[in-house]
A = this chain, B = another copy of it.
Amino acid sequence: MKGAPVQRRRTRQRAAIRAALEAARRPLSVAEILELARRQVRGLGIATVYRAVAAMLEEGFLTPVEISGEALRYEVAGRGHHHHFRCRRCGRVFEMEGCVPEVELLAPPGFLPECHEILLSGLCRECNKGLSR
């Protein structure tokens, strides 16, 4: 159901968007991407970000990270299985390594778990430090 792979073109906009996502090392929302990428491409339009993100998701460069109610975020794909930590103070979302596969044992009888997501919330290092001293 998927036509030709569509030939992409390298544009300043998409390069900036890609760079922002790679540099961030954490999931970014469209608004965050726009803000960061605009530093390199002034006048960058929000629609362009949405379209670029859609294209990058399609090509598999990005993966959606859907954090609780908040705006959908995107991160560079292929970083392997991992989870996230959201800081309740600064609102940023960070990647965490490691996993606790046993969580799938929580599934009720008859249910078939195929994958899982773990999200911790609290204070990130910076905010934790800032408050405690």
Contact = CB atoms under 8 A, between A and B. Distances in A.
Given A116-B118, A118-B117, A100 B99 contact: no
Contacts of A115: 120-122
A113 B88 contact: no
Interface centre among A69, A72, A113, A123 (most CB of B within 10 A): A69
Given A72-B69, A106-B100, A122 B112 contact: yes
Nearest to A73: B69
Contact of A64 (B69, B108, B123, B128): B69
Interface of A: 64, 66-70, 72, 83, 85, 88, 94, 96-100, 102-125, 128-129
Contacts of A97: 106, 108
A123 B124 CA distance: 34
A113 B108 contact: no
Nearest to A98: B106
Contacts of A69: 64, 66, 72
